[in-house]
Structure 1
Amino acid sequence: MLMSKSDRAAKLHYMANGFRVLSTGDHVVCAVSGVRIPIEELRYWDVARQQPYATAEIASEALGPQ
């Protein structure tokens, strides 16, 4: 069975002001909560860890005090 684009997680390279798509898909998975994040709604990630986060609160928790 072939997978449609909507059934596959994208692989991204996170940069300071955006990201580059390495493998196409329609979502990424939050590194902390496991929630699917549609690519068009992705706003929070960590460049050093190369991890996406579903919300600002989750990102703040994951990154800890700076």
Structure 2
Amino acid sequence: MLMSNRDRPARLHYMPYSFRVLQAGDHVLCAISGQRIPLEDLRYWSIARQEPYASAALSVEAELKARAAG
């Protein structure tokens, strides 16, 4: 039986300018907001923290939190 990747979170490896799918799915969850991000809309992530973000503003927020913590 074929399994559908719809409504399943993907597991990704984030690299400069792209990502590699480690486990098939159709979305990821923003590390800050928890918002569902369809893979075709994913534009922002941290290579160092291996986290996706729903927007540039949330990416900046995550970076500021990481700098403050560390």
Same fold (TM over 0.5): yes
Which 4+ runs in 1 deviate beyond 4 A?
none
Which residue number in structure 2 is paired with residue 28 of structure 1?
A: 28
Q: How many residues align?
A: 65
Task: Give the structure with higher Rg (CA).
Answer: 2
Unaligned stretches of 5+ in structure 1? Answer: none
Q: Give percent identity, aligned residues only.
A: 59
Deviations, residues 4-52 of structure 1 (Å, cap 9, x unaligned): 3112100000001100000000000000100000000000000000000
Q: What is the TM-score normalised by the length of structure 2?
A: 0.85
Unaligned stretches of 5+ in structure 2? Answer: none
Q: Distance in 1 between matches of 2:48 and 2:16?
A: 10
